[in-house]
Amino acid sequence: DLIAPHGGTLVELQLPAEEAEAEKARAAEYPSWDLTERQLCDLELLLNGGFSPLTGFLGRADYERVVQEMRLTDGTLWPIPVTLDVSEAFAGTLAPGSRVALRDPEGVVLAVLTVDELWRPDREAEAAKVFGTTDGAHPGVAHLRERSHPVYVGGRVAGLAEPVHYDFTHLRLSPRHLRERFARSGWRRVVAFQTRNPMHRAHVELTFRAARQAEANLLIHPVVGMTKPGDVDHFSRVRCYEHVLKKYPEQTTALSLLPLAMRMAGPREALWHAIIRRNHGCTHFIVGRDHAGPGKGSNGEDFYGPYDAQELVRRHADELGIEMVPFQMMVYVKERAEYAPIDEVDESRETVMQISGTEFRRRMREGLEIPDWFGYPEVVEELRKTYPPRARQGLTLFFTGLSGSGKSTLANAVMVKLMEIGGRRVTLLDGDIVRKHLSSELGFSKEHRDLNIRRIGFVAAEITKNGGVAICAPIAPYAATRRDVRAMVEETGGGFIEIHVSTPLEECERRDRKGLYAKARAGLIKGFTGIDDPYEAPETPELAIDTTDCSPDEAAQQVILKLERLGFIDLR
Ligand code: PPS
């Protein structure tokens, strides 16, 4: 007598074992599609019934109506298109009735899709309707525009194998398993809490109150599929949730992970989240401030009003069947030494204390204290492992400049000084070292130079990710390539310091240590940087050093001081 799934029954699409075996043998002959990360998430929830009552990827008519009216053609409420996007080339191999083997990144066939129809959707119109905007700053819009394929394929899906996970397997409960667990524990009322962030005291307070208010047990149901780019990785978050779980009275609260690919669609997404939780056996669902909001748009304003999601969910309350527990933002009230919803605080008499996400990240970066009223020490400690202060983060020092500008000498001096200070391993990726060990087959055409720099970027990013220092010293004449390398390194969470060794051409040529400028002037070397090949000087490097009038030791000292000012080394 648990709550019925959306649409009445739990629609699981996994074939029985024997049928699956037979179909697997046939599937070897089908054209196959390698699922994208998002499609893999969607497939998992299709197969396990998290997306009940869907029976596959949406066909055109369902898609159109979902986009326009948030409904399937049979009238069932469904706010987000769940579609399979493929390339033109792949679509060209298909026709209605074709069968497609859907594979995971390892090549395992997870499911077979029977094609109903193929069409080219108007993705801009989809964005405008589903996200209410075509601003590329919205991650859902950006995904549609930059990462989705042009052809949608609709059709039934039959599951052959469950998607494989190696992490936190004991916490990944499907709708069926959660329902079984609720039934076994006698949990008749369950309130679900959706999150894509680490949980601190405010969240625990909020969920605790929600459970009390709904007279229900609590399910902490974090998304571990895809969240907003830049979010805390799910590994760290789940370790935090495991700490937080201990803060609730025993046997009242459960934790399960949801392999959902979020779209950050705000109000529509809140409806979707509610439906998905109902399918997982929950009777209540918490919708807080700015639920599934993607942050600010290009105009500096929030995409959705803070309580738009609550409003939309309220408007569909009857059809949803799962009951919303709306919440205002929770804040710490200093005089009361406890948390309260912001609308229950009289700010003329009481002091509200808050730490924004930005402020939290600043404190982590600088290794500053996080007050006890804000976070649990175990959670903060867990996050400090993932986000060490700058002095313990990896970093890349990227020297760029003309041949003979002094890059190598300077890079070498900085390396020795960093080793003297200690604390991190240092790797030198000097131009000559790289061209010997990574790029020996490359020459100096634009393509080859770019390839060379990207290889350096890849290695530097790996070193940075692992907490070391990568010192790179190629010419790296192209701004766009340097920008890409910066992005690769910064994505790891470590630092990227660009140092323009800005010694002018005349000085480099006057030094001409290797005699190459003379040869280039004589036409013996073609395409020499600065002579008959371009060098695009960095416009906003972290540091620029002209070595004409300073010794290598002085120049290296400037770099070390810069690193200290930025917090990457702690000389105290
Ligand atoms: S790049 O553009 O970043 O890939 O260049 P890099 O790997 O740093 O290699 C530059 C060194 O190769 C020698 N060399 C040339 N440089 C520039 N242009 C041409 N055509 C060229 N041919 C050979 C030169 O000695 C550079 O060494 P450095 O250490 O910069 O003086």
- pLDDT at res. 571: 82
Q: Is 324 within 8 Å of 287 (Cβ atoms)?
A: yes
Q: Is the CB of 452 under 6 A from ligand 1?
A: yes
196 catalytic per annotation: yes
Q: How far is CA 285 from CA 136, 196, 202, 320, 321, in A?
A: 30, 15, 17, 11, 11
Q: Is the CB of 503 under 6 A from ligand 1?
A: no
Nearest Cα residue to 507 out of 404, 367, 366: 404
Task: Tell me what ipTM this predicted complex has.
Answer: 0.94
Residue with tokens 């083997």: 101
395 Cα–ligand 1 center, Å: 24
Nearest Cα residue to 290 out of 325, 265, 273, 314: 265
Phi-psi region of 49 (alpha: psi -120 to 50; beta: other; left: phi over 0): left
pLDDT tens for the chain, residues 1 to 572: 789 999 999 999 999 999 999 999 999 999 999 999 999 999 999 999 999 999 999 999 999 999 999 999 999 999 999 999 999 999 999 999 999 999 999 999 999 999 999 999 999 999 999 999 999 999 999 999 999 999 999 999 999 999 999 999 999 999 999 999 999 999 999 999 999 999 999 999 999 999 999 999 999 999 999 999 889 999 999 999 999 999 999 899 999 999 999 999 999 999 999 999 999 999 999 999 999 999 999 999 999 999 999 999 999 999 999 999 999 889 999 999 999 999 999 999 999 999 988 889 889 888 899 999 999 999 999 999 999 999 999 999 999 999 999 999 999 999 999 999 999 999 999 988 999 999 999 999 999 999 999 999 999 999 999 999 999 999 999 999 999 999 999 999 999 999 999 999 999 999 999 999 999 999 999 999 999 999 999 999 999 999 999 999 999 999 999 999 999 998 87
**SS3 label, residue 194:** strand
- pLDDT at res. 230: 85
Residue with tokens 């996970």: 165
Q: Is the CB of 458 under 6 A from ligand 1?
A: no
Concatenate the DSSP letters of all residues of 488-523 into one string: HHHTTTSEEEEEEE---HHHHHHH-TTSHHHHHHTT
197 catalytic per annotation: yes
Say if strands 395-400 and 56-57 run parallel, antiparallel, or are unpaired.
unpaired
- pLDDT at res. 292: 94
Note the pLDDT tens digit of each residue in 466-488: 999 999 999 999 999 999 999 99
195 catalytic per annotation: yes
